[in-house]
Structure 1
Amino acid sequence: MPTGDHEQPSVRSGPPRPTLKTIAEMSGLAVATVSRALADDPKIAEATRKRVAEIARLIGYEPDRAARRLRTGRTMVINLILDPHFEVLGFGNALLVGLTGALEGTGYNLVVTPHFTEEDVLPPIRRIVTNRQADGLIFTRTAPFDERVRFLMEQGFPFVCHGRTEFTEPHPWVDHDNEAFAYAAAGRLVAQGCQRICALLPPESLTFRQHLRYGLMRAVRETGVEFHIPDEVTLDSPMDRIQAWAQAIATTPDSPDGFICGGEASWLAIRNGYRAAGQGARFRAVAKSISGILSQIDAGAEVIHEDIEEAGRLLGDHLLRRIAEPHLPPPQTLQAPVIQFRD
């Protein structure tokens, strides 16, 4: 035992962690009543539920997740598999704001799992499901016959995806109406006198490529305008590559005079390419925007808004509903584009 100069100072423990018993003593209620009130049991009077919730907030009570998992089988975790969206500026931030808003006050914790490889999308999903690391999953950038959707439906595991698939069995999703976006964008460019419209589309592996193409082709059939879909670049191409491509085609005899841009990054790259080629005056485009940055760069920019923050809220709401009521039809929401043309 250390003595003299070698004696170790005593370690003081912090204040005891608030428990259900702490709240029960402060409120004068039974522990069981406190537990049911915090679980928002409708059989407990609303005034009592509010009083218990306020006491819990004031003393910093946090439920013991391990104990709750043993008792209920739930982790109280929602996992978001976040893929890169370099084309859409601020996508991840906006999605997280909406999603955390939907989960606020529910007792659920949000865990974000970054996924930056296109090679195999299943490993993080399998790991979470196999080890029961979450009660539900949210992911983005869906494919027509997405392996993640197939796997989760087979496992009966709650999920919601941002984007649709072509599976006949319905599943929960939230999506932007990209067909309506492309149709409105093409119509606007035709109205401005454009005679050859170029649509920069996502890779063929993603479902919303075909939705954008459907909208463009509907406008082509109605107006007879010429169109071009490049093979050299996609919405996922780096900005410098898109800019170099735009600069190269800007002075060709059949160069496009109108562009449909699926996000702010492609708008900036194509505009800069046309300017570098001395063809800036010929650049006309309609871009999908979520951040509002294009209006700050160019007050005359033609944009159609996609509300990613609302999409995050919807994804959270749909997943909570799916977890609570798995027997009901899966919730599905198609968000309408918000047109913000200058006139």
Structure 2
Amino acid sequence: MAAIPEPAVADSDTRPTLKTIAAATGLAIATVSRALKDAPDIGEETKRRVRETAALLGYRPNRAGVRLRTGKTNVIALVLSTETDIMNHTSRLIYSIANALRGTAYHLVVMPFFPDQDPMEPIRYIVETESADGIILNQTKEDDPRIRYMHEHGFPFAAHGRTAMGIDHPFFDFDNEAYGRLGARTLAERGRRRLLLVPPPRAHMYARHMTFGFSDEAALLGVPFEVAEGVTSDSGGEAVEAAITARFSQPNPPDGILVGSTTAAMAAIAGAERTGRVLGRDFDLVAKEAIAVLRRFRQDVLIVREDVGRAGEFLARALVAEIDKRDWAERQGLEVPVKVEQGRPARMGGTQ
């Protein structure tokens, strides 16, 4: 391997180029270029060598030049609602996508949109201005106009979630129907006899999956159930806490709760506790989380792990393959939960 030039090269008036890296590594310029693009026909050791050399030299691609030559920006846009569970779910998703893109030619930008904003607005902006090569989005709907728009315009995208539109595209999803069934079954096995679901916003596809799985499993088990009205798992802590307090203050309160977010889990527990109930004795709660938080809040929470890191990495790699028009066997993925991490055995009795 040719010696790497002294660091002074990176500090000189001449910016390092692909030719500089090629000279330092003894590789062809075309090989260097393909290695930096994470091309599948380049070996991992060669890619590592090229990336390390590029980093030592301070190489940065000239984006204006890249766009002129290729028509590409080497940017992937992650479009997220500000309503998402930023503490637990979204932060992990952003990190995992950015981490999967490290060492590739692509960089991540995050574009938020607000509750009072048309969700189509950031999508149209990116597609019309060609300010990114592809989009990752979440909170998909059964019939999602964002996905229809990008599909019709031939714009590469990947979705964290599914639709019922019959459009074939890259996606990764958590099986929320399986989560709903698993939660209802676990609560019933712990002796709970009145179940409550605090679902995601009903317009989202994963809310439909979760609600169906929960209600169908509860019905099969012969356990009475209800779905919270007026609040969702995205409503915010104060709203969820108030709604649970009100429900537990009424006759025949639930003794088993399934929720769709970490924030809603903590708020629901706080709401029930305001009426004198004790978690693990008077009621149980099943929640899913991407980052270990809930056990620090209450030891008796029943937890289903969601591997959002796996989702982000999958979506990044699938979208890059879509942009580069490469065959990619795993264009669609589904994480199916099979385990609930139990707290202590249910301690029946108390104030109900």
Confirm or deny a common fold (TM above 0.5). yes
Q: Which amino acid aligns with 2:230?
A: E
Contact 1:88 1:265 (C-alpha < 8 Å) held by counterparts: no
Q: Which residue of 14, 17, 20 corresponds with 1:19? A: 17
* RMSD of aligned alpha carbons: 2.6
Q: Distance in 2 between matches of 1:289 and 1:29?
A: 45
Offset of residue 341 of structure 1: 2.3
Say yes or no: does 1:166 pair with 2:164: yes
Deviations 1:5-50 (A, max 9, x none): xxxxxxxx96432223433554566756654564567888987766
Identify the residue that residue 314 of structure 1 maps to in structure 2: 314
Quick one: higher RCO (CA 8 Å, sep 6+), 1 or 2?
1
The answer to whether the 8 A contact 2:36-2:104 is kept is no
Figure out how many residues of one structure are paired with residues of the other and give that number: 331
Contact 1:197 1:257 in 2 (8 A): yes
**C-alpha distance after superposition, 1:297-331 (max 9, x if no partner):** 22222111111111111111111121223677881
Which ranges in structure 2 are unaligned for 5 or more consecutive residues? 1-10, 346-352
Alignment of 1:98-113 (within 5 A): 98-113=96-111
What is the DSSP-based 3-state SS (H/G/I as helix, E as strand, rest coil) of the residue aligned with 1:340? coil
Paired residue type of 2:298:
D
TM-score (norm 2): 0.85
User: Bigger shift: 173-182 or 116-125?
Assistant: 116-125
Q: Per-residue CA shift, 1:206-241, capped at 9, x if unaligned?
A: 111110111112212321100111212111212111
Out of 265, 269, 272, the position equivalent to 2:270 is 272
> Aligned with 1:282: secondary structure?
coil
Other-structure match for 2:4: none
What does 1:114-129 correspond to in 2, within 5 Å? 114-117=112-115, 119-129=117-127
Counterpart pick for 1:193 among 184, 191, 194: 191
Show the counterpart of 2:301. 301
CA distance 1:32–1:334, shift in 2 (3 Å): closer
Q: Is the contact made by 1:322 and 1:330 (CA closer than 8 Å) also made in structure 2?
A: no
Q: Is the 8 A contact 1:170 1:330 kept in 2?
A: no
Match of 1:161, SS?
strand
Partner of 1:290: 290
Residue number in structure 2 paired with 1:79: 77
SS in 1 for 2:87: coil
Kindly state the Cα deviation for residue 172 of structure 1 after the two structures are TM-superposed. 1.7
Per the alignment, residue 213 of structure 1 pairs with 211
Structure with greater Cα Rg? 1
1:340 maps to: 341
Q: Following TM superposition, by how much is the alpha carbon of 1:84 offset from its aligned partner in structure 2, in angstroms?
A: 2.7
TM-score (norm 1): 0.87
Identify unmatched segments of 5+ residues in structure 1. 1-12
